[in-house]
Amino acid sequence: MGKKIGWAVVIIIVVVLIVILSGSKNQEGATDKSPITIGFVGPLNGDLANLGLNAKSAVEIAVDEVNGAGGINGRPLQVIYEDGKCNGADASQAGNKLINVDHVPVILGGACSGETLAIAPIAEQTKTTMLSYCSSAPKVTEAGDYIFRDYPSDTYQGSYGAKFVKEQLGKTKVAILNVKTDWGDGIAGVFKKSFTEMGGTIVAEESFEQTSHDLRAQLAKIKAAKPELVYFLSYTDASIPGLKQAADMKLNVPMLGGDAWDDPKIWADVGTIGEGAMYTVVSAAHGDTLGAKLKAKTGSEEVIACTPGAYDGIYILADIMKKVGTDSTAIKNALYQTNYKGGVSSDEIKFDINGDVVGANYVVKVVKAGMAAPME
């Protein structure tokens, strides 16, 4: 009887040890399959909705590709989409939700500069990394240590536009008409400084609120100043009536816009009135490749200005999280060391000490028959 009890005790101990060791091994070898969630902010309704929705489609494509290739170390990537509506109030609310309710480690966005600058103080306070795919206002450079963008600052676009007007078009007298936003004020200021330094003259400066659709008073002052060209910086909802009002008032001078004019809705709506209008926009290195993917998903191959940066942003963040995990500060530190190659927006993406993307390439697009194409 004693021996039987002894053996029984030994067997029990062995079984317990096997269970413990097996459980320990399974725990060590277990893989976390829970989703990694990040945020997205962009204009999904209202002014510039086309821009935001086009970027959202590209993000969805990139997420599907990342997950199809195994996700982030076996964990699927998912995105919570919030509508920043291209204004600070809505963007701040969206950012607060993503950070304080959804607890995302990183936000891809905003699109409009006002969105990004509205969320930046919250992101800095909570140490939440942001990677904007389209904010170009110079102010974003100093928005904070956790704020990055893979879309170039308007310090590039404003000076590029000024050089194009002065050296290629040969215009010396320009009027500026801009929306009163961080984007509009920022690029207008850079253009003015660059253009006057090159010997050009700004004959009139007029601005308007983002919600304004009647620009006739500003256009009348501009017409009276007799410019050789109007530098018209506006989003979609004001550009359409503004261009029509300029035509009605017979302001027969060339119009040059910024990258917000890369919205096809503008030229489809204004029709022949937009013939010959020009605008500057970032040149995507492999936009055609992304266009083919968008056509397969949405039926349209249109790649609007901010979309390549949104697509590349997903891959940049996914690559970083594969290496450092989901700690926001670790993601932030890794972004400063990033040298991402093979993207659609640029062959190489890296960030300077301010979180700005290094370098920029622009093209001028011209509107013909209701469609915009690079100037030949």
Token digits of residue 170: 């040969």
Q: Which residues of the chain have pLDDT under 50?
A: 1-30
| pLDDT at residue 93, as a whole number | 98
| pLDDT at residue 287, as a whole number | 86
Report the candidate in 110, 133, 111 with the shortest Cα–Cα distance to residue 122: 110
DSSP sequence for 157-221: HHHHHHHIIIIIS---EEEEEEESSHHHHHHHHHHHHHHHHTT-EEEEEEEE-TT----HHHHHH
β-strands 147-149, 173-179 pairing: unpaired
CATH number of the domain located at residue range(s) 36-153+286-295+303-359 in this protein = 3.40.50.2300
| pLDDT at residue 376, as a whole number | 82
Sign (positive or negative) of CA dihedral 259, 265, 269, 275: positive
Inter-residue contact 222 to 175 (CB < 8 Å): yes
Inter-residue contact 367 to 267 (CB < 8 Å): yes
| pLDDT at residue 199, as a whole number | 97
In terms of phi and psi (left: phi > 0; alpha: psi -120 to 50; beta: otherwise), the region of 253 is beta
Q: To 10 degrees, the CA torsion angle through 230, 231, 237, 242?
A: -10
d(CA 142, CA 135): 13
Inter-residue contact 63 to 79 (CB < 8 Å): yes
- Give per-residue pLDDT as tens, 325-339: 999 999 999 999 999
Within 13 A of 317's CA, how many CA atoms are on the CB side? 35
- Give per-residue pLDDT as tens, 276-320: 999 999 998 888 999 999 999 999 999 999 999 999 999 999 999
Whole-prediction pTM: 0.87
Q: Which residues contact 73 (CB under 8 A, 6 or more apart)?
A: 31, 322
| pLDDT at residue 47, as a whole number | 84
| pLDDT at residue 111, as a whole number | 96
- Measured CA to CA in angstroms, residue 320 lies from 60, 185, 314, 328 at distances of 18, 34, 10, 11
- Return the CATH fold of 155-284+363-374: Rossmann fold (3.40.50)
Establish whether domains 36-153+286-295+303-359 and 155-284+363-374 are of one fold.
yes
Report the candidate in 252, 257, 223 with the shortest Cα–Cα distance to residue 239: 257
| pLDDT at residue 10, as a whole number | 40
d(CA 175, CA 181): 18
| pLDDT at residue 286, as a whole number | 86
Return the domain boundaries, the chain. 36-153+286-295+303-359, 155-284+363-374
| pLDDT at residue 285, as a whole number | 84
